[in-house]
Amino acid sequence: MATINSTNFGSDTLEIIAFRLHDQEFCVKTTTIREIRGWAPCTPIPHAPADVIGVMNLRGSVIPIIDLAYKLGMKSTVANERSAIVVAEVHNMVIGMLVDRVSDILTIPANQVQPVPEVSASFDKSFSEGIIANENGMICFLNLAKMFKGNEIEDLAA
């Protein structure tokens, strides 16, 4: 199995934040993350897309809160006291992503990221940068810029 060329990531190591959705581990680059907040109820928006739970006030700015599990095609996350909101900046817009819990912040060698295997011709692997195999299992490395198209985020903020 080929590994992804580390030049795709711009350095020899990657700083990632890992989090859980149901029983699966996912991660994103820390450079996209602004902060991690504990769960707080948000205000629903009528006729919002199905993956948008609502909005919350983040120090005077209203940001959309996304059910990341639902966005990834999983069953919706039911928020509880262990849930977290990972606040990220994507396409110059700030969004919050509901996760079951944040597990770790790691520095890994860039060559540890392996390509996502081909599942079928109709399988869309664009949401993922690759898979990281470590001693605790597999972590799916998400690409937030591809998950949230620029116009999609603008629509959320409007």
Calculate what percentage of the chain has a pLDDT beyond 70: 84
Q: What Å distances lie between residue 67 and 5, 8, 90, 116, 126, CA to CA?
A: 31, 28, 16, 23, 19
pLDDT band, very low/low/confident/very high, at 101 (cuts 50, 70, 90): very high
Is a pLDDT exceeding 90 seen at residue 22? yes
φ, ψ of residue 32 in degrees (nearest 5):
-90, -10
Q: Give pLDDT, residue 3.
A: 39
Reported pTM: 0.83
Is a pLDDT exceeding 90 seen at residue 155? no
pLDDT tens-digit series, residues 38-88: 999 999 999 999 999 999 999 999 999 999 999 999 999 899 999 999 999
pLDDT tens-digit series, residues 46-60: 999 999 999 999 999
Nearest to 77 by CA among 132, 32, 135, 26: 26
